[in-house]
């Protein structure tokens, strides 16, 4: 049912330093930058940076988000929950997401929105301290 990677989130200690690295060294395409996060694209892949100033393994927000079709999302989530998965956080962003651990303790997310939907939502709800590049 998974039809691709929705986004990859990377935890960083300092958003300004990380933004410079991902933009100037790796030459990713910037989408937005705020006080604690930034979005880029690497080809067709959406990369999200999330600042964790007190970064420790326990505060690591890094995860891979898999995309499922919107019309199959609820069925897929029910199937996952039937396998007694452990969730690592409740959803706090727009849209529906399930945050789960795999059996090795890796953080995963299941979601169905697109980067363009997140951009539209962000421009309406993220506030004025966000710099948009598109």
Summarised one tens digit per residue, pLDDT across range 108-117 is: 889 888 888 8
- Catalytic status, residue 109: yes
CA distance 100 to 42: 25
Task: Tell me which of 56, 71, 94, 109 is the catalytic residue.
Answer: 109
Give the chain's domain count.
Answer: 1
CA distance 49 to 33: 9
Q: Which domain holds residue 98?
A: 4-132
Q: What is the CATH number of the domain that holds 69?
A: 3.10.180.10
pTM for the model: 0.71
CA angle 78, 82, 87 (to 5 degrees): 80
Report whether 30 contacts 75 (CB < 8 A): no
Which residues on adjacent β-strands are paired with residue 109? 65, 99
Mean pLDDT score across all residues of the chain: 87
Per-residue pLDDT band at 104 (split at 50, 70, 90):
low
């Amino acid at each position: 049912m998974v039809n691709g990677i929705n986004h990859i989130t990377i935890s960083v200690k300092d958003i300004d330093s990380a933004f410079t690295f991902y933009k100037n060294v790796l030459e990713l395409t910037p989408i937005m930058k705020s006080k604690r996060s930034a979005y880029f694209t690497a080809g067709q892949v959406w990369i999200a940076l999330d600042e964790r100033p007190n970064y420790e393994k326990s505060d690591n927000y890094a995860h891979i988000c898999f995309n499922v079709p919107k019309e199959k999302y609820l069925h897929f989530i029910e199937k996952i929950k039937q396998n007694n998965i452990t969730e690592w956080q409740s959803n706090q962003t727009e849209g529906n997401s399930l945050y789960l651990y795999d059996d090795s303790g890796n953080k995963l997310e299941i979601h169905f929105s697109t980067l363009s939907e997140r951009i539209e939502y962000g421009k309406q709800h993220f506030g004025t301290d966000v710099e948009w590049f598109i």
